Amino acid sequence: MENKYIIRLIKDTAKFMELYGENDFKLRSYNSAVFNLEKLDVNLAELSIEELERIDGVGKSIAKIINEINETQNLAYYQELLANTPKGVQEMMKLSGFGPKKIKLIWEELKIETLEDIILACDSNKIAALKGFGDKTQEKLKMAALFKINSRHFLHFREAEKLGNMLVEDLKSLVGVENVSLTAELRRKMEVIKPIEILVATNDASQLRDYLRNSEMLDFYEKMSGPRNLRASHLTTMGEISIHICKPEQFFNELFRTTASPQHLAHPLDGAGNLMQLLKQQNFDSEEAIYEAVKLPFIAPELREGLWEFEWAKEGKMPDLIETGQLKGILHNHSTYSDGIHTLEAMAKYCKELGYEYLGISDHSKTAAYANGLQEFRVKEQQIEIDKLNAELGEFKVFKGIESDILGDGSLDYSEDVLASFDFIVASIHSQLNMDEKTATNRLIKAISNPFTTILGHPTGRLLLQRQAYPVNHEAIIDACAEFGVVIEINAHPYRLDLDWRYVHYAIEKGVKISINPDAHEKAGYHDMYYGVCVGRKAGLTAKDTFNALGKAELEKYFEKRKQVALSKA
């Protein structure tokens, strides 16, 4: 039982309590507990109820709740609240930017219980008439409802891959199954997935049907299934699942066909025809053999989008895609100095333990008060600790960084003398997200033009399946980074994956370096680097294009040179 699950359950319970008008004192006790638990560096599942009671901000009542979650993997009170709440209202509670009080008002005053009804009410101006809403809030609500409707049944890549791999292992164990693989968008490592697609080679599909019928975690859609395709959904995540069935001798043809996008399969080949037509002519014993048959080099699954891969292949310029093992260090990370869970020392030592050469610590800057952002005196305190750690950690190095807020006018969140005390600056937008394209683009370009900016962090602010990106002119932003020598981040957090891989490709073409950063707020967050690598690979990213594929000594020289240039311009 992970702390994240426990805390999320308590947080969600508090939201539904607020929906039902629970008293403020009880709500404060839940929210206070969440605040303190999010800072805790111990495994809650391993604590006794007496130990839980001694945690600041927890007390006896919350300790009992945590203990119940540990013992049952659930919370009866939360389930009771859910049982009393229509499914549509539960979905309304997930709308970005709208808390329980506003949802309660919509539900009780207008008797609205679905996202579709919210849109109808917006179109007839019923929402704007509610107390505390108005025209602008009504339009924002409509956009949020449309976004949520369009996101139904999609899963983040991380969640889909985890579930898909579990299903693959289960299916491999069935009698008569000769081969199994993830396929389609999941194999191409798209950022969000619907449905999870799996290819199974067997001469007897009855075992597959029995598995789906008897599974306690799946809902088998028997009436929607056919002889070559079985459909189901995952009961916990509501993720959709599609299982393709083929004969064993057809496996590689079908794996190729179901993996590639329609554009990849339909791309015209020299001498007429396309890959789809080739697959109909004979069965191949590997995907490599399919490309060999048309005199093309192997194209990695994640590149098979029908975009730029054939141009590379025909010109002999197929990139040697970045691998996780080629990354030498991890930049953009947080510690307990701001809103991280683990101390700076713990973050540094675990990074070293993972085999990296360096860590870039970049806690939040002072404007981010909600994240315990660092005032100037705390910047000095952290930098003193970094010097001590660097004296203790041998060849491993902690670089002094900050995630400086890009303020509303595009300026960075410290004076030049404070900015000059850092080795590097990650510049990011965290507030005033409701911008038009011109405002957002100009704000970012001003920050990019600041000589102290090293890396542009999560450039579009998106949260996949939760919050839309603010609109920007991607090409203008990337062109500015090329002009001012600013690195662009692929934020590897599975909910961000920002910059989008489609624009990472443009950045590479413009010669902009890419830094794969986990935005880790705890030690486990380092492992999200894998998802950033997936994004980079889809764009054709290589080690030579990757900023943090530089070794420690090279990075030291880069930071020092860039700082001297910045000081000369200050």
- H/E element holding 421? none
Q: Write the DSSP assignment of 159-189 as a string of letters.
A: HHHHHHHHHHHHHHTSTTEEEEEEEHHHHTT
**Identity (one letter) of the amino acid at 505?**
H
Domain at 152-259, CATH homologous superfamily: Beta Polymerase, domain 2 (3.30.460.10)
CA distance 438 to 440: 6
Q: Is 21 left (phi over 0), alpha (psi -120 to 50) or beta?
A: left
Q: Whole-angstrom Cα distance, residue 118 to residue 127? A: 8
Question: How much is the pLDDT for 252?
Answer: 98
What is the Cα–Cα distance from 461 to 282, expressed in whole angstroms? Answer: 47
With CA atoms as reference, report the closest residue to 139 among 121, 122, 114, 115. 122
Q: Which residues pair with 230 in a beta bridge?
A: 243
Tokens 């011109």 correspond to what residue?
A: 438
pLDDT score, position 38: 87
What residues does CATH 1.10.150.110 cover in the chain?
A: 3-150
Could you give the residue range(s) of every CATH 3.30.460.10 domain in the chain?
152-259
Residue 428 vs residues 431, 448, 455, 478: alpha-carbon distances, Å: 9, 10, 9, 15
Do residues 221 and 206 make contact, with C-beta atoms less than 8 angstroms apart?
no
pLDDT at 4: 87
Q: Which CATH code for domain 3-150?
A: 1.10.150.110
- Other CB atoms within 10 Å distance of the CB of residue 263: 12
* Each residue's pLDDT expressed in tens, for the chain with a length of 570 residues: 788 889 999 999 999 999 999 999 999 999 999 988 988 888 999 999 999 999 988 989 999 999 999 999 999 999 999 999 999 999 999 998 899 999 999 999 999 999 999 999 999 999 999 999 999 999 999 999 999 999 999 999 999 999 999 999 999 999 999 999 999 999 999 999 999 999 999 999 999 999 999 999 999 999 999 999 999 999 989 999 999 999 999 999 999 999 999 999 999 988 779 999 999 999 999 999 999 999 999 999 999 999 999 999 999 999 999 999 999 999 999 999 999 999 999 999 999 999 999 999 999 999 999 899 999 999 999 999 999 999 999 999 999 999 999 999 999 999 999 999 999 999 999 999 999 999 999 999 999 999 999 999 999 999 999 989 999 999 999 999 999 999 999 999 999 999 999 999 999 999 999 999 999 999 999 999 999 999 999 999 999 999 999 999 999 999 999 999 999 987
pLDDT at position 407: 97
SS3 469: coil
